[in-house]
Chain A
Amino acid sequence: MHFVPGDPISGNKAMSIEIRKNLEKKYGLDQPVLKQYLYFLGNMAQGDFGISFTQQNRSVNDIIESHFPVSAGLGILALIFATAGGVLWGTLAALYRGKVSDQLIMFGVILGISVPSFVFAALGQFLLTELNKYFGYTILPVAGWGSILHMLLPALVLGLGTMAFLTRLMRSSLLEVVNQDYIRTAKAKGLNSFRIFFAHELRNGILPVVTYLGPAIAFLTTGGFVVETVFAIPGLGRYFVQATQQLDYTVIMGLTVFYGAFLVGMVVLVDILYGFIDPRISLAKS
């Protein structure tokens, strides 16, 4: 990071050598890089990511504390949309495989995976504005932050890509399960197709989706900065991008470490959850 030309201080307008020296001293930037790094590590071990170089009197912890909940809320809502939608669409596509509805859904999946989220964001905003205009009152706010209503559209837009991916995953997984021997056994027992679906197919079919949930949570809560920008949401993603542009070392480092820890935490959480769904994975109890 330090190899990138420039530094956090030079971003501001011209300043005299003295002021610059003083600032460097204040933030410890006059020290050798290795020393700075050791210092950073020491602080981090105590849970302190340091203070921002570019935002007056704000510590990185402070930034995380006040903006991460926003991103997390948005991400979790997006995840709910993505999972519910993915499971539902994937199931429908599998049930009607080869038919028109399957092909339509799979077309949607390709769109969802390949079209970037800012296009959906802009489209969504456009549609919503038109709708609001048409009905003459605000059904849903187009941008901004505050209530759950503000979250709905951005969360949907944010979750679309993941939903598309999960739809495809669910579909292929179900199609595999349907041909398994134990489904034939269930038929031979005289169960009706409704029961076979809910008791046998769904639970086995959903396993890959659950596996993907951990990375998906991390991706959705941390990767939303495009959506956050378009909808003017004060999430953490925005600060990350800003910090990178301004070479705000402590913020970049702090957020990277935080995101990493969060990803690991979520994957572990999902692994534990997985044990409840798939008995083969659960910890040896005996």
Chain B
Amino acid sequence: MAEVVLEVQDLKVEFDTYGGVIKAVRGVSFNAYKGKTLAIVGESGCGKSVSVQAVMGLIPVPPGRVTSGIVKLRGNNILGLSHSEMNKVRGKEIGMIFQDPMTSLNPTMTVGKQITETLSVHEGIGRGREAKKRAIDLLEKVHIPEAANRVRHYPFQFSGGMRQRVMIAMAIACKPSILIADEPTTALDVTIQAQILHLLKDLQRENEMSLILITHDLGVVAQMADEVNVMYAGRIIEFGPVDDIYYRSQHPYTIGLRAAMPSSEEGAKRKLQPIEGSPPDLFHPPIGCGYFDRCPYAMKICESNEPEPFLVGNNHYSRCWLHHQRSQTKLADFIKQDTKIYKNNEIMS
């Protein structure tokens, strides 16, 4: 296995709001490996962005608060570092790009300046010719045509896809060992999406970056990821290598997600099945399994007992009581259901 660059253990984040305390992230652990892509998937509001923002120290305090956890960057805890120490990590060790390229760039500063800013903070390269050259190189690296001209332009002169490229150029300026991409393609149309993902893959290979990719799109996951975290209600409920998550998913939620996903293959006549209901209220997180209310296989134990991660395959974990020895019959039932979905899927292939 490749080298671990980032290790997150038992991360918990809360927000104070008028309605009470939101427990947005409730004990998340994962590792990111050099040169590998870790995808984090899950529905809106499950805590994906908050988790990675906590890693970057970007949770606004107040109202936010990291109540527990360890974040190790190559073995050293970076959670709770002082502002100035954390500023040496951000942008240099960990780069980050955001969902909306339209609003994530400063409208009144040239893109060249926004890129060189990162360089000047971390490498002391000021304004001069060298900085400009580096900015042009970086723009070329992310395939912006006429980069030499473009450095002098402002964000409003770029299209959405180009702006996201600029964001990427900024994030990789100091060759970070980790790149966090929070839904980098959600705001873009499909062809641009493919280009951006391609670019990320190339850059990752070149710098042996560890990529943490947040997305809603299981198609993107299949294309990009080595390992996948499936998040639900502030927890990781299933984790495993991408193939296991796709073809041998074990948690009822993941299975539900897959059933709700359209497949592109021809002849797929299967009806999409939405997951009924909505995620639990994070003001009062359930004592038991977060998916209890919506789970078609829920058992009595699930209501008030939180399942631990069960090892269900090679490096594949699922937080579900069905995997406990004593619920074997239920599990058999469930697998039968599951295979039915697969059967449907296989008709087309």
Binding site for B on A (CB under 8 A): 180-182, 184-193, 195, 199-200, 203-204, 207, 277-280
Contacts and interface: CB of A to CB of B under 8 A. Distances in A.
A191 B117 contact: yes
A95 to B, nearest CB: 15
A192 B87 contact: yes
A279 B156 CA distance: 9
A278 B106 CA distance: 11
Contacts of A186: 106, 117
Given A188-B96, A189-B170, A280 B107 contact: yes
A285 to B, nearest CB: 11
Contact of A189 (B83, B118, B154, B156): B118
A185 B99 CA distance: 11
Contacts of A193: 83
Contacts of A189: 90-91, 117-118, 121, 170
Contacts of A191: 87, 91, 117, 121
A161 to B, nearest CB: 29
B113 to A, nearest CB: 9
Interface string B34-48: 000000000000000
B172 to A, nearest CB: 11
B84 interface: yes
9 contacts: A182-B104, A182-B107, A188-B95, A189-B117, A190-B122, A277-B108, A279-B108, A279-B154, A280-B154
B335 interface: no
B245 interface: no
Contacts of B121: 189-192, 195
B292 interface: no
Nearest to B153: A279
B88 A190 contact: yes
Contact of B156 (A192, A207, A280): A280
B171 to A, nearest CB: 8
A278 B108 CA distance: 6
Contacts of B108: 203-204, 207, 277-280
A186 B120 CA distance: 13
Q: Is the interface of A mostly helix, strand, loop or mixed?
A: helix
Nearest to B105: A182
Given A184-B58, A199-B117, A279-B154, A190 B106 contact: no
A204 B103 CA distance: 13
A192 B84 contact: yes
A94 to B, nearest CB: 15
Given A184-B98, A199-B109, A279-B154, A190 B104 contact: no
Interface string B67-86: 00000000000000001101
B100 interface: yes
Nearest to A204: B108
B56 interface: yes
A84 B156 CA distance: 30
B92 interface: yes
Contact of A188 (B56, B103, B106, B156): B56
B261 interface: no
Contacts of A188: 56, 58, 90-91, 95-96, 98, 171
A189 B106 CA distance: 13
Nearest to A193: B83
A168 to B, nearest CB: 22
Most chain B beta carbons < 10 A, residue from A189, A193, A195, A278: A189
B111 to A, nearest CB: 11
A24 to B, nearest CB: 61
A200 B109 contact: yes
B125 interface: no
Interface in B168-186: 170-171
Contacts of A204: 106-108
Most chain B beta carbons < 10 A, residue from A187, A195, A280: A187
Contact of B87 (A184, A190, A203, A278): A190
Contacts of A199: 109, 117
B22 interface: no
A277 B109 CA distance: 10
Nearest to A207: B108
B144 interface: no
A139 B10 CA distance: 66
Given A181-B98, A184-B58, A278-B108, 6 more contacts: A185-B106, A188-B58, A188-B171, A190-B88, A199-B109, A279-B154
Interface in B114-136: 117-118, 121-122
Nearest to B119: A189
B235 to A, nearest CB: 25
A180 B56 CA distance: 17
Contacts of B192: none
A188 B86 CA distance: 10
A181 B103 contact: yes
B222 interface: no
Contacts of B110: 279
A224 B17 CA distance: 47
B53 to A, nearest CB: 8
A190 B98 contact: no
For the complex of A and B, 8 pairs with smallest distance between CB atoms: A190-B91, A190-B90, A189-B91, A181-B103, A188-B96, A182-B106, A279-B154, A190-B87
